Structure 1
Amino acid sequence: MTRTPVQSPAGRHGRPAYDRASLLEIAVVDFNERGYDGTGMEEPARRPGLSKSSIYHHVSGKEELLELAVNRALDALDALFAVLDEEEKRTRDPDGGSPETTATARMQRVVHRGVEVLAAELPYVTLLLRLHGNSEVEQRALARRREFDHRVAELMTRAAAEGGKRADIDPHLASRLLFGTVNSLVEWYRPDRGLTVETPADALTTILFDGLHGRAAR
């Protein structure tokens, strides 16, 4: 994985000055590059102007840094739960039978928003997707991810029932494949390379849902 540069805020006499937020940015880069278990406090302490003592001034250790990073990633995931909740409200509107409120159209909006959220919190979502459940913090995050997967699968089931997706593809499998593709962006999408988030969001939505609308092969 290409190392993402972290800009250090300038302190007195031009030396970097770190606060809790900038320290967290550094830690997430190290966690993603080396893995959480493979990262010690000496890695971030190698930054100019940082030392172990200055790190411990802000946090109790790398476990707290992981919890802060995971909480930020879960905040991003909560934004997708909010989209799902909003999509549920659409079904109770007077125009609930309009094309914009079908389960398929709602699913497309969730996927499109998923790309946007991933891009906005890329390092933190990357960390979330690579957790293994080795700690209580990680287990809590994975449980929240499973809850999201379940909600998406329910929406996909409704899309299948209304004829908006191929009936020969299991809804749970389809939802996993959809968001597996969305999540793959963490491996290559870099917002600083001139590709706006709308480009992959639009492309993924079009390609994925055109495939789901197609007929089964004979």
Structure 2
Amino acid sequence: MTRTPVQNPAGRQGRPAYDRDSLLEIAVVVFNERGYDGTGMEELARRLGLSKSSIYHHVSGKEELLELAVNRALDALFAVLDEDGGAHGERAGDLTATARMKRVVHRSVEVLAAELPYVTLLLRLHGNSLVEQRALARRREFDHRVAELMTRAAAEGGIRADIDPHLASRLLFGTVNSLVEWYRPDRGLTAQTLADALTTILFDGLHGPNSPAPHAS
């Protein structure tokens, strides 16, 4: 959802006024619509109803806007890994690796829903600039930390040990990341419902408690 621009100060009518956060929100929408490489400052100025010089009052250029946007998404995801409190107030150190893994997936879905435009932009980076390369390096660090947690969960017997943990974590977060392609918060599906359902399916599968046992192949 796009934030309403802040009101113009008295005596400055005719153009919308933005703070840096509201300017960033609209810039991210444009980047996602047109692609970052396909968006110039002229297009941003047109969509914002501002002159380019007014945009430069807030940021140095579109590269800074991109960096602010992807860092917002990455900071939120890394915060999930570093959270102390669990759903019932447990400390992360008191949870098993398996419980932490489930919580990371659940909370990552919630972050994706809350920061949907920013995560979408992050997932569409191609590495064509230093800003993008730094963001992709942080994504790899996140993936590595998740894979380490998956390895510990497998070692304690909480999840399957016959699938490579790095592959398992890539498959898990490939599913989580695919939500940017179809999840729309305004269509009635809450982030909590989505996170609950996805975590259950990813960790417990679709085999119901009353379903017949699957036949061995």
Tell me the TM-score normalised to structure 1 length: 0.78
- In structure 2, stretches of 5+ residues that fail to align are 88-93, 209-215
SS in 1 for 2:54: helix
Contact 1:160 1:166 in 2 (8 A): yes
1:58 Cα offset (Å) = 2.2
| 1:22-51 Cα distance to aligned partner (Å, 9 max, x none) | 211111111111111111112222236322
Change in CA separation of 1:145 and 1:48 when aligned onto 2, cut-off 3 Å: closer
| 1:83-121 Cα distance to aligned partner (Å, 9 max, x none) | 33xxxxxxxx999999x8222111100000001111111
1:82 Cα offset (Å) = 3.7
Contact 1:126 1:186 in 2 (8 A): yes
Size of the alignment, in residue pairs?
Answer: 204
| 1:160-193 Cα distance to aligned partner (Å, 9 max, x none) | 1222222322111110011111111111112222
* Further displaced range: 114-123 or 13-22: 13-22
Contact 2:27 2:44 in 1 (8 A): yes
Which residue number corresponds to residue 18 of structure 2?
Answer: 18
1:120 to 2:114 alignment = yes
* Further displaced range: 6-15 or 191-200: 6-15
SS in 2 for 1:24: helix
Matches within 5 A, 1:92-107: 101-107=95-101
Change in CA separation of 1:202 and 1:194 when aligned onto 2, cut-off 3 Å: same
SS in 1 for 2:67: helix
Change in CA separation of 1:161 and 1:97 when aligned onto 2, cut-off 3 Å: farther
- In structure 1, stretches of 5+ residues that fail to align are 85-92
- Counterpart CA distance in 1 for 2:48 and 2:164 is 52
- Counterpart CA distance in 2 for 1:129 and 1:55 is 25
Contact 1:9 1:18 in 2 (8 A): no
1:19 Cα offset (Å) = 2.4
SS in 2 for 1:43: helix
Q: Could you list the structure 1 runs, at least 4 aligned residues long, displaced by more than 6 angstroms after superposition.
A: 1-11, 93-98
SS in 1 for 2:38: coil
- Counterpart CA distance in 2 for 1:11 and 1:158 is 62
Change in CA separation of 1:104 and 1:48 when aligned onto 2, cut-off 3 Å: closer
Change in CA separation of 1:77 and 1:123 when aligned onto 2, cut-off 3 Å: same
Which residue number corresponds to residue 70 of structure 1?
Answer: 70
1:146 Cα offset (Å) = 0.7
- Counterpart CA distance in 2 for 1:25 and 1:9 is 21
Change in CA separation of 1:132 and 1:94 when aligned onto 2, cut-off 3 Å: closer
SS in 1 for 2:9: coil
Contact 1:59 1:65 in 2 (8 A): yes
- Counterpart CA distance in 2 for 1:103 and 1:211 is 19
Write 1 or 2 for the structure with the bigger share of helix. Answer: 1
SS in 1 for 2:13: helix
| 1:178-213 Cα distance to aligned partner (Å, 9 max, x none) | 111111111111222222101110010000001399
Change in CA separation of 1:195 and 1:14 when aligned onto 2, cut-off 3 Å: farther
Amino-acid identity (%): 91
Tell me the TM-score normalised to structure 2 length: 0.79
- Counterpart CA distance in 1 for 2:84 and 2:61 is 52
